[in-house]
Structure formats: C-alpha cells, structure tokens
C-alpha cells in the first residue's frame, strides 16, 4: 500500500459511512411514513369493510370480506403485508374509479406537478427580484408594496381569490378558460409522453393543444403563483436584509465595489442556500396545498383525487395519495441536500 492510499483510506471510510448513514435515514423515514399512512387507514372512523360492501350488508358477507381484507390478523402482520404490497407497487384498488390506486396516481399526479411548476416559476421570477429590491430599498414605496403583497397573500382565502378570478377573467373578460386541463374536443388527441400537457404538446408540435392547455393552466397557476410570490418575496427580503447588514458589505462599500456587484455578486450569492430551501419547501407545499385550487378549477390532479377519496371514504386512495406526497417531500429534501453541496462548498 502506498502512502497516498494510506492517506485516502480515512476519507473513503468517512464517505462510505456518510452514505450508509444517509441510506439508513431514508429507509427509516420511509418506514415511518408507511407506519403513518397505515395507522391513518386503521384509526379513521371509516369502516374499510363497509366501504367495499356498502352499508346494507348481511353479517356473513361482512365477516367474509373482513377476513379477505386481512383485518382479523394481528396489527403487526397487517402492517408487514402493507409494506410488502407497497414495495411491489400495489396500493390496492380505488372504490371510486375501480382501477388500481397506483395507476390512478400516475394519471393525476402529472397534472398537479404541471400546475405546481407553473406556480413556482411565477413565484421565483417575481418573488425573488421583488424581495431583493424591497431589501435594498427598505422603507421606500417598493418595500411597502412587497410587504402588502405578502400580507394579502397570507390573508386572502385562496378559494375566494380563485372564484373572483374566474368571475373576472373568464366570465367577464373571456381571456382564459375556466375549468379542466383542456377543452373536451382536444381530449385524446395528444399522445402522453411526460404527462405534462404543455411539454408534450410542444414536443409533438401540436401548438393548438399547447395554446388550449396554456389557456386552462394560466389562471390557476397564477393564483397559486401569487401565494408563492408572497412567501418567497418575504423570505428573500429577510435574508437580504440580514446580509446587507454584515461587515463584508460595509467593507465592499469602502473599497468602492459597484452597487450591482455588492447586491448580486456578494449579498445574493450568500443567500442562495437559504433561498434554495425556501423554494424547495414552497414547491412541496404547492403539490399538497393545491387541493382548493384544483377543486375550484375542476383541475384533475392529485388534490381533487384525494378530496374525492375522502368524500367517498376510499381509504386506499387517501393512503396512496398521502404516501405519494410524503415520498415527494423526501425526494425534494434529498435533491436539496445535493444542491447545497454544489452551491456551498463548506457543506461538503
């Protein structure tokens, strides 16, 4: 063994230990999430047997379905069976649609992702510059405007804003479409590739469908985007105010560094990691927080699917949707952690 190999062994050992620790953490988190969804399905007052058979059922049929669902086994065996099924992609069947929950989720989830992507894009493009300018112009009208936007975004009910937007921009001005992802005449005309209508229609060059999908998504996306603008701009302003008060900014001013370089090259550069956390959490929140918007705009996404499952006491749908949201949050945290290491070498 050479001296270089001897020096590299501790580094490799630490790297492997860090990776194994991270893998164990992910597995434990997934098991905790599975336990949470399993407990939710068992503790909620809805009777899973009656959800299958209906309220008018004789005792013999009730006992037979109770046994077929495995509810007569010990709880730990039921949980083990649930984990085994989920690991193979089996989340049960939906009583509402008659299809497997996994296939339903693959159908509705891209619609929510597309809506959340439009919203986070609006929130980032508008919210970050607004927060930076509000911090730099502290006490000026632009700062008061940013704080007013943030206050309104956290105060106005999102369903009311959605209804008012439909009334103004659809019923009165006829600028946008009202509900759904596309006109009924265009349904089935596009071969799905990613499930994102805007992207798929652009890839296939069907620009009439692209315009139709854009007309349907722009209003709910803008409503969700406004709420993300309110949060992102407020957090960006707070981060920038903290950095602009640091000694290195005072030193940069004394050295004659230009205002633009001081703001974007120094202060903004140092809030990128914090801002990345805000954007990641905002995107995750948009995925599971779009329930009201999807209901108002009849958007066929995960939120509407989950709401229908709750209304119909379809616990397989509820458990599958909650599990998917939890997995998405876990993936967002993992990706954010990797991006931290790219943006900030001190975390490596």
Q: At 330, list the tokens.
A: 């876990």
Measured in degrees and rounded to the nearest 5, phi and psi for residue 93 equal -110, 150
CA–CA dist 305, 317 (Å, integer):
8
pTM: 0.82
Q: How far is CA 278 from the centre of its chain?
A: 12
Measured in degrees and rounded to the nearest 5, phi and psi for residue 100 equal -70, 145
Q: Where are the domains of the chain?
A: 3-87, 101-347
Query: Does the domain formed by 101-347 have CATH 1.10.3720.10?
Result: yes
What is the reported pLDDT for 7?
Answer: 45
What is the reported pLDDT for 315?
Answer: 77
Contact by Cβ (8 Å): 215, 247:
no
What is the reported pLDDT for 12?
Answer: 66
Residue ranges of the chain with per-residue pLDDT less than 70: 1-15, 19, 21-22, 41-55, 57, 68-70, 288-289, 344-348
What is the reported pLDDT for 14?
Answer: 66
């Amino acid at each position: 063994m050479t001296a270089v190999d001897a020096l590299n062994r501790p580094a490799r050992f630490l790297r492997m230990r860090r990776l194994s620790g991270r893998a164990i953490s992910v597995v434990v988190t997934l098991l905790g999430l599975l336990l949470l969804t399993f407990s939710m399905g068992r503790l909620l007052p809805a009777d899973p047997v009656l959800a299958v058979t209906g309220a008018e059922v004789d005792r013999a049929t009730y006992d037979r379905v109770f046994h077929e669902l495995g509810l007569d086994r010990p709880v730990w065996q039921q949980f083990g069976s649930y984990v085994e099924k989920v690991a193979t992609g089996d989340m049960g069947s939906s009583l509402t649609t008659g299809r497997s929950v996994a296939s339903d989720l693959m159908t509705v989830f891209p619609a929510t992702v597309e809506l959340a992507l439009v919203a986070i894009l609006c929130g980032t493009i508008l919210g970050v510059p607004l927060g930076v300018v509000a911090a730099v112009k502290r006490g000026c009208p632009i700062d008061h405007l940013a704080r007013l936007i943030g206050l309104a975004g956290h105060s106005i009910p999102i369903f009311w804003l959605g209804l008012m937007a439909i009334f103004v921009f659809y019923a009165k001005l006829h600028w946008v479409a009202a509900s759904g992802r596309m006109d009924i005449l265009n349904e089935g005309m596009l071969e799905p590739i990613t499930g994102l209508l805007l992207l798929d229609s652009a890839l296939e060059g069907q620009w009439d469908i692209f315009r139709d999908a854009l007309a349907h998504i722009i209003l709910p996306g803008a409503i969700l985007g406004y709420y993300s603008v309110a949060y992102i701009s407020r957090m960006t302003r707070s981060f920038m105010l903290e950095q602009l008060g640091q000694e290195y900014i005072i030193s940069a001013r004394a050295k004659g560094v230009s205002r633009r370089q001081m703001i974007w090259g120094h202060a903004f550069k140092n809030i990128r990691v914090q801002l990345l956390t805000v954007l990641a959490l905002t995107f995750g929140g948009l995925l599971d927080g779009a329930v009201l918007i999807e209901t108002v705009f009849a958007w066929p996404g995960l939120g509407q699917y989950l709401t229908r499952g709750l209304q119909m006491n379809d616990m397989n749908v509820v458990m599958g949707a909650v599990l998917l949201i939890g997995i998405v949050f876990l993936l967002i945290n993992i990706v954010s952690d990797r991006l931290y290491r790219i943006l900030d070498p001190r975390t490596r």
